[in-house]
Amino acid sequence: MDQPCKWGILLPFAAMVTVQFTDVGISTISKAAMSRGMSSYVLIVYSNALATLLLLPSFSLQKKQVSLTFSFLCGLFLLGLIGSSSILLAYNGINYSSPTLSSAMANLIPIYTFMLAIIFRMEKLDLRKSSSQAKVLGTIVSVSGAFIIILYKGLVILKPSSPSNFLMISHQSNSRWVFGGLMLAMSCLLSAIWNIVQASIVKNCPSKVTVVFFYTFFMTIQCTIFSLIVERNLNTWVIRPGIEMISIVCSAIMGNVFHVGVHTWCLHQKGPVFVAMFRPLGVAIAAVMVVFFLGDPLHLGSVVGSVIIAIGFYAMMWAQIKEKGSNVVENEVHSLASTNQHTTPLLQCRSTEEENV
């Protein structure tokens, strides 16, 4: 294997593993900050505001400026509204439950996307095909795993080092776990809707920097308005140095700028299936980080539910790969058929000319 080919395989792999570590790390740091009294609404507003400022130079220094029509800005405003609602539910869901549950529930996003595509007739379901059967089975399995991980906690299979902290967290999570899981499930549903809306908007705009900047900008404004209504105590908006400051900076840089940049690069290099297949890795990373850094216990229900969701997730990925392969074959067949149709008259003309000669 030559050196460029080797790096072409290793770099996207290392990039996606790094993304999973950073995503779980951000959730863990944010959970630690919120556990020490930081408001989730304040964290969301400040991190998105900082991300907007960081993206401003890239947007301003674009070589080719994009024409900003009213309909295009309205689409980005709608995208920001869906995204702000999703992120508000996600951070509050993490605050009520755990980053492990958040990482596990994120695997439901492609399942929700498939269900919405069926409901709105964006995708046809042919149960005679094995790919469609795998999608339906994967959906049922993943949703069942989500119910298990939310409603069933089970035995503690990995305890934190501090017994007092363990008892306090266990008491809190028993009363808040289900509510946090439901909020995370709603956040994933909104993320699936966001994917569908975003695909149509990006199709009409060649500049991804413009889309990301205005999406973050509108999301910051929307989150700020909502958070000011919810958090009326001005003292909560004062940021103290330490874990609160670290969580804001990490969420802005690693959660927005780095995450979006690496995802876009990997999508261009390897495609969406390659990017999606690393998502279940975040569950294992979160389970370890939560126990050792937050002191949360790891329950049997979280492990069983996460494994079931991952099985349904990979069934969905297999179906997409199979459909993609069949579509390529069909396109090649149509291409060969059209080529034959175009070449036949040429052969006939040549034979006619030879006869005339």
Q: Supply the mean pLDDT for the chain.
A: 79
pLDDT band at 7 (very low <50, low <70, confident <90, very high): low
Instruction: Give the lowest-confidence range in 106-115, 127-136, 188-197, 327-336.
Output: 327-336
**Whole-angstrom Cα distance, residue 90 to residue 284?**
19
**Whole-angstrom Cα distance, residue 170 to residue 323?**
44
| Residue linked to tokens 């067949």 | 333
pLDDT digits (tens, 9 = 90+) for 85-94: 999 999 999 9
pLDDT band at 6 (very low <50, low <70, confident <90, very high): low
Instruction: Give the lowest-confidence range in 22-26, 99-103, 112-116, 268-272.
Output: 268-272
* pTM as predicted: 0.78
Whether 351 shows a pLDDT value over 60: the answer reads: no
CB 90 within 8 A of CB 189: no
Instruction: Give the lowest-confidence range in 41-55, 72-86, 202-216, 318-332.
Output: 318-332
pLDDT digits (tens, 9 = 90+) for 261-287: 787 777 777 776 677 778 788 888 888
Residues 6 or more apart in contact with residue 77 via CB below 8 angstroms: 218
pLDDT of amino acid 224: 94
pLDDT of amino acid 184: 92
pLDDT digits (tens, 9 = 90+) for 37-47: 899 999 999 99
Whether 121 shows a pLDDT value over 60: the answer reads: yes
At 200 the three-state DSSP class reads helix
Instruction: Give the lowest-confidence range in 151-160, 184-193, 262-271, 333-342.
Output: 333-342
Based on the number of CB atoms within 10 Å of its own CB, is 159 exposed (0-12), middle (13-18) or buried (19 or more)?
A: middle
DSSP 158: E
| Residue linked to tokens 């103290």 | 240
Q: Which long-range contacts (CB under 8 A, 24 or more apart) does 111-115 make?
A: 111/138, 111/139, 111/142, 111/143, 111/312, 111/313, 111/316, 112/188, 112/189, 112/191, 112/192, 113/192, 113/195, 113/196, 114/139, 114/316, 115/139, 115/192
CB 157 within 8 A of CB 303: yes
Q: Which of 302 and 206 is assigned the larger pLDDT?
A: 302
- Mean pLDDT, rounded, for 232-249: 89
- Mean pLDDT, rounded, for 335-340: 40
Phi, psi at 97, each rounded to 5° = -125, -105
- Mean pLDDT, rounded, for 91-101: 88
Whether 77 shows a pLDDT value over 90: the answer reads: yes
Based on the number of CB atoms within 10 Å of its own CB, is 243 exposed (0-12), middle (13-18) or buried (19 or more)?
A: middle
With b for 16 or more beta-carbon neighbours within 10 A and e for fewer, the 102-124 pattern comes to: bbbbbbbbbbbbbbbbbeeeeee
**Whole-angstrom Cα distance, residue 351 to residue 357?**
10
Task: Please list the residues that pair with 299 across neighbouring strands.
Answer: 156
Strands (E) across the chain are located at 156-158, 298-299
| Residue linked to tokens 């958070």 | 227
Q: Which of 218 and 168 is assigned the larger pLDDT?
A: 218
